[in-house]
Amino acid sequence: MPEGPCFNQLWSEIVLANVTPRRSDNRVKKMCREYYLIRQNTLFRDVPITLPRAMLVGIDREAERILMPFRKPCFGTSLYVIDSNREEIELLCPVLGQPGTRKEKRMDQTAFRE
């Protein structure tokens, strides 16, 4: 058994299992208004985040959760939900750098006129 923190102790839900980095990034953009690029082996709760390349981490401030990609050698890359809190999110975001944000799509009300 490995010593120290383990990624299996962090996550609470799997969003996508055994996916490509592109598909994971697209899901993060779809599910979160705020997201950041995370590089390989960045430490999160003392666990190095193993990834095939830099990927997106989603921040859901309302639900106080983080969408984190992670690559397990025998299972491939998956996207996980990690329960968090406001304080942890506030500390994490500056470490990750410049955010990307998804703008809400506004429906053109003229399209619904009869």
Average pLDDT, the chain: 85
Residue 114: what pLDDT? 30
Percent of the chain with pLDDT over 70: 84
Residue 108, pLDDT > 50, answer no
67 pLDDT tier (thresholds 50, 70, 90): very high
* Alpha-carbon gap, residue 112 to 98, rounded angstroms: 37
Q: Which among 67, 54, 60, 57 has a CA at the least distance from the CA of 36?
A: 57
What phi, psi does 62 have (nearest 5°)? -65, -45
Q: pTM higher than 0.85 for the full model?
A: no
Mean pLDDT of 30-36: 95
pLDDT in the model for residue 105 = 41
Contacts of 30 (CB under 8 A, 6+ apart): 102
In this predicted structure, the answer to whether residue 8 has a pLDDT above a threshold of 60 is yes
Confidence of residue 6 (pLDDT cuts 50, 70, 90): confident
**Res 106: pLDDT:** 37
Asked whether the predicted pLDDT for residue 1 surpasses 80, the reply is: no
Angle subtended at Cα 82 by Cα 79 and Cα 83, rounded to the nearest 5 degrees: 155
Is pLDDT above 60 for 113?
no
Closest Cα partner for 36 from 64, 11, 60, 55?
Answer: 55
